[in-house]
Amino acid sequence: MSAKGKLKIIPLGGVEEIGKNIYVLEYGEDIIVVDCGSIFPKEDMLGIDLVIPDVTYLQRNRERIRGILITHGHEDHIGAVPYVVKQLGGVVPIYGTRLTLALIELKLKEHRAMPNVALHTIAPGQSVKVGSFDVDFIKMSHSIAGAVAMAIKCPVGTVVVTGDFKVDYTPVDGELMDFQKLAELGKKGVLALLMDSTNVERNGYTMSEKKVGETFNSLFTRAEGRIIIAMFASNVHRVQQVAESAQRYGRKVCLTGRSMINVSTVAMQLGELHIPDDVMISIDDLDRYPDDKVVVITTGSQGEQMSGLTRMAFSEHRKLDIKSSDMVVISANPIPGNELSVSRVIDQLLRKGADVIYESLAEVHVSGHACKEELKLMHALIKPKFFIPVHGEYRMLSIHKKLAMTMGMPEDHVIIPRLGDVIEISRNSAKVAGAVPAGAVLVDGLGIGDVGNVVLRDRRHLSQDGLMTVVVGLAKGEAKMVSGPDIVTRGFVYVRENEELMVQAREVVKKCVESCLKESRTPDWGTIKGRIRDDLREFLYQKTKRSPMILPIIMEV
């Protein structure tokens, strides 16, 4: 399908948005996929649990897919794996580092998704051949262990995908990103670069993760009661720093929240997290220790409704309630769209008298993404011929384009991609040469993609204006109404206080049905329902200036 001598790069996610990262690289008859992430639903996506990329293009070309390669284990890079694996039939091998694959394996088991999926562990510094592509895995610094960039080589040239990264000269695990490898690639020549744009709007450098450890130490000296710290479960390095502060100040560590326990258990088994057995306690044992001798690490830094911290704040947690003597630390920034949820939880914690610490008050969080000066360093090291900014909303991609141009990149060598764009690259040219199906697939419970715009529109309508159900009984074989109309409302008005309105509404429906029956001895039920809907909507709007969803039901008696 690829033109001879041309490489195609197709972003099916991760552009014009933060999250849902998935990039397709295609040469000859071979396709590889880099990352396979999900994204939080927007506030207007009522009832939706998760949003994953539309992989229709991959389904149509599944026999040509040689592998899925994962940069690291965050949800916006692995969250869609179990869903996409099912859609592709489970035959595609997956490549990643140890912790990344361990987290993917957890997901596959949880979803009972294709137990025979081949998982190939690749260490930073190693290479793997996948179809026509030779892929080098390059050690990077990020807020999770095992993060890598990829140098993807094919006959057209080398493409570097940075994944998420920051330049941290004092990483918690002591392992620096592989500057030497990146510089070697730049010296040999890189055809195209796909780079993280999340923090392109921020000047300067991102602080080292160790700065958060210093803040934790100072907070531990202040705290007189329990310390409860909420963070992303995948931030293993931060969990490690909390555990070290706990040991230093004589506190026991309790992990709570399903994902926190799962990820930490896997990380300890792999040697990425070190917490001595005599320091760890279960949540059932918390009451056996004085408050000033425990620290609880929990999920809920984004105000998620069912997370540990949210349930504690609203007294819905079975094992743990917030006390006025507690210090609660929210060690994360709200992801765009989650600000209201986080604020609601903070307010509730403060109402309970807790001492709440968040990023505005102390350095309890640092980003895992590179700021402007770090992005410049990466451009200077890699020196690509063509640049494709990714992992950002459109304004971020646009700013990153200008940044690349200040580094000497010609404007026509930078392509700001849109979802589904087919970017065709040869040795001397890069252009958008078409588009493939792309977008969002909504996951609601066990349903994948069965909730679309029409269903969401109905949910929004119901949430804003409520529902009115009208039931009418017609005589079988006769143009005669024998029962009703009966009206049931939900979320529209309180019926006991609006009985006159209900009486008038029934009269409107009765007249409407009688009129339809007079006009035709065998009226079409669809026509009657439509007339009921129209007449009742007009009446209710005149009376209340509201437009509930109206659901007419006709029964043949």
With both helix axes pointing from N to C terminus, report the angle between 499-519 and 525-544 in degrees, rounded to the nearest 10: 150
Give 227's strand partners: 295, 327
Contact between 35 and 77 (Cβ < 8 Å): yes
In angstroms, the CA 401 to CA 387 distance is: 8
Read off φ and ψ for residue 89, nearest 5 degrees: 85, 5
- Counted residue by residue, the chain has a size of 557
Cα distances (Å, whole numbers) of residue 131 to 9, 315, 422: 16, 54, 20
Strand partners, 30: 27
**Residue labelled with tokens 């939080």:** 40
Is 285 an annotated catalytic residue? no
Give, as one character, the DSSP assignment of residue 31.
Answer: E
At 26, list the tokens: 């295609």
Q: Is-catalytic flag, 196?
A: yes
Q: Which of 178, 196, 355, 535 is catalytic?
A: 196
The token duo for 414 is 């930078």
Torsion, CA 113, CA 116, CA 122, CA 127, rounded to 10: -110
Distance in angstroms (rounded) separating the CA atoms of residues 334 and 554:
49
* Contact call for residues 415 and 430 (beta carbons, < 8 A): yes
Side-chain half-sphere exposure of 270, counting CA atoms within 13 A: 18
Distance CA 67, CA 469 (A): 51
Q: Which of 237, 369, 391, 400 is catalytic?
A: 369
The residues annotated with a catalytic role in the active site are 196, 369
